[in-house]
Structure 1
Amino acid sequence: MVSFLTSPSINHTWLPNASTQLGLYRYGQFRRNIPFIVRSEHVPSTSTSSCEDTPGRRQLLAMGATLSPWLFFSQQTLTFAAETKKGFLPVTDKKDGYTFVYPFGWQEVVVEGQDKVFKDVIEPLESVSVNMIPTAKQDIRDFGPPQEVAETLIKKVLASPSQKTKLIEATEHDVDGKAYYTIEFIAQAPNYTRHALSAVCIGNGKFYTLTTGANERRWEKMKDRLKTVVDSFQIFNV
């Protein structure tokens, strides 16, 4: 049985800070109680690296591929071979070792307790956030199967205890030999219902969580874009 409360690597780092998680229920409050800064620029200074003119790059160009500036890392064994989809912007954090894309037009905001946050300034429930905590575990599967981990995360981290939650699906997939769990769930508050997706993975001695979502009334319109965001999340060795 998975237990985050009894895990020495999480007990004193994650759960006490659960109130700062942006996964769901803080959207109605962080604009009032947590200071944040809206940045007009889209490209973080730590989020890009130059492309090298390698044979592999030239081959991809000859095949008509669209290469993002962060596609290749000269000192990393990992090569990102995915194209940046139209209508999305890439984020790569070389210090903490993760990458994902978010919809064009979302603004970066700074929120206490979160490593990266991008959101729609008109629809505040439409956002993506990344959080990390230290862990001694080596694999997400060490915490248990997807369903069990998902239920624990939703109950203790991703939603407020006062919210009514429903786990829709929890699945596992593999990217370059690393296991990821993807969670789809709904959280109902008195004044809104949010449909959310989370991806969790372990690497670099950290437990990574990416969460994105939208108001339930806009889910059908946003679901494909949100699935692109969660599916794009990858971590790499640093």
Structure 2
Amino acid sequence: MAVSTLSMTLAPSSSSSSNRFNVPHSYSSTRVTAIFPQNIITCSGDTTYDEDRNSKRRAILLGVGALALSSCPASSLIAEEIPRNYEAFVDKSDGYSYYYPSDWREFDFRGHDSAFKDRYLQLQNVRVSFIPTDKRDIHDLGPMEEVVSNLVRRVYSAPTQMANVFDMQERTIDGKNYYTFEYALTSPNFSRAAFATIAIGNGRYYTLIVGANERRWRRVRNQLKVVADSFKVLDI
């Protein structure tokens, strides 16, 4: 897939500003430069002279465009496929990327490598964590139904919570397998619904969880599903 390939080869990352990118949806000036020649070239001349001149001009501009594309940063290339109202978070050092709503803000979530939350509703957030593993693929953990059920009922939920799994999906991108599932945790005083995506790569077991208060779930479910489905493991 184009986005993941570009992220793997070009996108900086890690915890320092030089290694991590929060890539905005809007185009950067470098990206505009890269595509500009292809957008403005037309062959409107009626004479042989004009046609020859435009052909030479096209060849020169396309050459400039190719050079710009080869040197432009990953942020501008990734931006081409970011859904509207989302931004991309790319961490090449730790080997993953995902989209998050553009009006969310980064925050520290204990035990997690990255996290973003709604600026007004703190319980509406996404976070990513990973742990070392000797497994090479998510299939090595077992059948999806068994793996998801154990995670939700024995890992994600507290003893006082009732856990329900609503949906499970498997997808494969660039040879990597992912499980994405929807679930809810209900306690006497609080209920939360979420999507989780898990994957294995780079000797790590990755987990992305994006959720919200269950009372708001219907309103934000589709928006948060985009986040869960966007998670990708990058080779490091």
Q: Which protein shows a greater Rg? A: 2
Amino acid at match of 1:162: T
What is the deviation of 1:112? 2.1
What is the deviation of 1:121? 3.7
Amino acid at match of 1:70: S
Residue 237 of structure 1 corresponds to which residue in structure 2?
A: 235
Counting matched residue pairs gives: 182
Matches within 5 A, 1:87-126: 87-126=85-124
2: distance between equivalents of 1:133 and 1:171?
Answer: 22
Residue 47 of structure 1 corresponds to which residue in structure 2?
A: 20
Q: Percent identity?
A: 38
Please give the per-residue CA displacement for 1:5-39, whole angstroms capped at 9, x wherever unaligned.
Answer: xxxxxxxxxxxxxxxxxxxxxxxxxxxxxxxxxxx
**Aligned match for 1:86, one of 66, 84, 103:** 84
Amino acid at match of 2:135: K
SS in 2 for 1:162: coil
**Aligned match for 2:136, one of 135, 138, 147:** 138
Residue 7 of structure 2 corresponds to which residue in structure 1?
A: none
Residue 193 and residue 82 in structure 1: after superposition, are their counterparts in 2 closer, same or farther (change >3 A)? Answer: farther
2: distance between equivalents of 1:187 and 1:228?
Answer: 21
CA contact (8 A) 2:201 2:235 kept: yes
Residue 169 of structure 2 corresponds to which residue in structure 1?
A: 171
CA contact (8 A) 1:68 1:84 kept: no
1: distance between equivalents of 2:207 and 2:214?
Answer: 21
RMSD: 2.9
Give the structure with the larger helix fraction.
2
2: distance between equivalents of 1:134 and 1:204?
Answer: 9
1: distance between equivalents of 2:80 and 2:233?
Answer: 14
Residue 218 of structure 1 corresponds to which residue in structure 2?
A: 216
CA contact (8 A) 2:109 2:127 kept: no
2: distance between equivalents of 1:110 and 1:230?
Answer: 19
Residue 96 and residue 189 in structure 1: after superposition, are their counterparts in 2 closer, same or farther (change >3 A)? Answer: same
**TM-score of the superposed pair, with normalisation by structure 1:** 0.68
CA contact (8 A) 2:132 2:203 kept: yes
